[in-house]
Amino acid sequence: MKDEGKIELNYSKTVVDEVDNGHSIQVDDTGSAVIDGRKFDLVQFHFHAKSEHTVNDKHYPIEVHFVNQAQDGRLAVIAVFFKEGKENAAFQTVLDNIKAGEKADVADEVNATQMIPANKTYYHYIGSLTTPPLSENVEWYVMKNPVEVSKAQIVAFNKYYDSNNRKIQPLNGRTVLEHIE
């Protein structure tokens, strides 16, 4: 089935802070997303190794989750796969500021849009958060096209978090829609 909703992102280059929260590296950021005409504010983004979603049973080495919230509290998570390729400047800034088990004020700007593919074809379904409290009724938008990060960046992230992903869950009757850009 096809999904007709367009995603428009306005993620800023300003980072409030970055924290090693014991489960992942989380970056609290500002920005907004308009998804199918509805406005969401970017709350934070964080990373999982290996990916928490698969396409045709294929995992990717890293997946980033951009957690967005509407004024009514509804959550929309935009998930992006990372694959091995060229170095990604935004991800490198995140890696350069990791302080194990601590919060770090990030002086350098992180251009979060560098971690979003140019082609915004995505898969959409209603699911849950993948970390506690595992809240239900979360709108998931899983980008079909991965973003490149270098092998060195994958290795660097895995020094902090390797296998911090939730195992793949059964669909349990959920419908997965595809939006083609």
Active-site hit among 8, 14, 23, 181? 23
Q: At what angle do helices 89-96 and 151-160 cross, to 10 degrees?
A: 30
Active-site hit among 18, 53, 63, 65? 65
Active-site hit among 18, 53, 124, 130? 130
State yes or no: is 59 an active-site residue.
Answer: no
> In whole angstroms, what is the distance from residue 134 CA to residue 143 CA?
21
Active-site hit among 18, 48, 124, 139? 48
Active-site hit among 46, 53, 124, 179? 46
Active-site hit among 52, 63, 131, 179? 52
What Å distances lie between residue 15 and 3, 99, 138, CA to CA? 32, 15, 24
The residues, ordered by sequence, that sit 6+ positions from 139 with a Cβ below 8 Å of its Cβ are 35, 74, 75, 76, 77, 124, 126
**Element containing residue 160 per DSSP (H, E):** helix 151-160
State yes or no: is 179 an active-site residue.
Answer: no
> In whole angstroms, what is the distance from residue 69 CA to residue 107 CA?
25
Closest CA to 68 of 162, 138, 173, 168: 138
Active site residues per annotation: 23, 46, 48, 52, 65, 130
